[in-house]
Amino acid sequence: MNKILAITVFVAFLALGAESFRVPRQAEDEKGTIAVVVDTLKSYYDQSVDTASGYVETIKGYKLEEKAKTIYSDTVRAVGTYAGIFQDQLYHILYSQDSH
């Protein structure tokens, strides 16, 4: 009988001890600290993505790619012309015919 009483007291003690370690539940509409931080970071990320997308669309609106292609083709044409002139001058300097 003493063993049964001791076991009953021990089980009751464990049950009461386990009860004290329960974590109280949060209400459904309350958010924890981690959830608030995660939501804040998500909103900052979304704002950053939206801002970057806006900048990209603005840059596309300036048609910089077409302007860069035009500048490149004009530069290649001008350099080609001056390179041809330089080549002709160099040829005439090196292989000039003496009229004597």
Mean pLDDT, residues 48-66: 84
40: its two tokens: 């804040």
Query: How far is it, in rounded angstroms, from Cα 56 to Cα 76?
Result: 28
Buried-exposed string 33-67: b where 16+ CB fall within 10 A, e elsewhere: eeeeeeeeeeeeeeeeeeeeeeeeeeeeeeeeeee
Q: Kindly report which listed range (28-32, 41-45, 46-50, 62-66) carries the lowest average pLDDT score.
A: 28-32
Instruction: Report how far apart, in Å, the C-alpha atoms of 97 and of each of 16, 82, 100 are.
Output: 116, 24, 9
pTM (two decimals): 0.37
pLDDT grade, residue 100 (50/70/90)?
Answer: very low
The predicted structure's pLDDT at residue 36: 87
**Could you count the other beta carbons within 10 Å of the beta carbon of residue 23?**
5
Residues shown for the chain: 100
Rounded to 5 degrees, what are φ and ψ at 23?
Answer: -95, 125
Residues above pLDDT 70, as percent of the chain: 80
pLDDT grade, residue 85 (50/70/90)?
Answer: very high
- Which has more confidence, 26 or 36? 36
Query: How far is it, in rounded angstroms, from Cα 51 to Cα 43?
Result: 12
The predicted structure's pLDDT at residue 28: 58
